[in-house]
Amino acid sequence: MTRNKLTAITFLSIIVLFFWVYPNIITAYNMSKPNINQMSHGWQEACNWLRNSTISNVDYYDEKAKPEWGVFSWWDYGYWITREGQRPAICNPGSNTRYAVAKYFISDNYSETHTELVKMKAQYIIIDYLMVTSKFYAIDTLANAPMGQQYLPTKYQQDYIYYDKGKETPVMLNYPTYYKSLVVRLYNFDGKVVDSPGTPVFLVDKERNIKNIYDFEQYSDALKYQQANGGVIAGSDPFVSPIKMNEPIDGFQLVWKSNSIVKIGNWTYPEVKIFEVVK
């Protein structure tokens, strides 16, 4: 073999490697990198618990099957529940049940919601910390806004601006309706009686700037002040309610929580919790 032929073959081999092998290496590398859409550790734990600690007698992939029970969660997580948890999900990105699911999650009529969930054959409810923080607005929107429209202003929470020593700080104020919603009562307070250290009234202007804050020991006193002077009754901490809720929620029992934890403000909470719908 001549030197020129050997050089040509070598060059051709390099070209083949570049166009055939290199793209596959890049693809493999990209697939190995962390992806924000990949399951979190808490959700991996939750799906492992579903798969190993519950029993299902149907093919959870069969759309025509009629499962004895299903898992109730936000639609974002439906495919994870089915694929990794190997259990039927009542709601997923391909279903239209997400509007009803949203309404049930923000309902404060717990007895009626429990009845509807039993009709839907919901056995477990899975809630993660995002559903009571950054995803709560999406739940609120789907429950209350006409299809395809945004829901502003919300009656559950609203963003405001607070000036601390001249520095502009965004603050999310959560109204009493937020704390009363089923998803918050369950995840934030485990469905138990909720105490309150007091009720603040925030005086705000039309641009949603917080001008002053008044604290009251009793909700009734805060309500009287609001009626006379305006302002909003709200809490700035999702885990500290501005109102007392003296009755626990019946029909929902915490059965599991993830070892994976998250930091939310000054609080540390399990990333995911699972509640059983007690019949």
pLDDT tens digits for 38-85? 899 999 999 999 999 998 767 766 667 778 899 999 999 999 999 999
The predicted pLDDT at position 147 comes to 61
Cβ atoms of residues 163 and 213 within 8 Å: no
- In terms of CATH architecture, what is 41-277? 3-Layer(aba) Sandwich (3.40)
Neighbours of 61 (CB within 10 A): 10
**pLDDT tier at 177 (50, 70, 90 boundaries)?**
very high
pLDDT for the residue numbered 56: 79
This prediction has a pTM of 0.84
pLDDT at residue 165, rounded to an integer:
80
Q: Which residue is it, tokens 């974002």?
A: 76
pLDDT over 50 at 153, yes or no: yes
Contact 253, 275 (CB under 8 A): yes
What is the mean pLDDT of the segment spanning 135-152?
78
Q: Is the pLDDT of residue 8 over 60?
A: no
Place of tokens 């002077």: 229
pLDDT at 189 over 80: yes
* Segment 156-162 mean pLDDT: 94
- Is residue 118 over pLDDT 50? yes
**Of residues 62 and 1, which shows the higher confidence score?**
62
Question: Per-residue confidence at 27, pLDDT binned at 50, 70, 90?
Answer: very low
Cα end-to-end span (Å), the chain: 83
Q: Work out whether strand 209-216 and strand 157-164 pair parallel, antiparallel, or are unpaired.
A: parallel
Distance CA(178)–CA(159), nearest Å, equals: 13
The answer to whether residue 108 scores a pLDDT higher than 90 is yes
Here the tokens at position 151 are: 């829901």
CB 108 within 8 A of CB 125: no
Mean pLDDT within 111-129: 97
User: Which has more pLDDT, 8 or 198?
Assistant: 198
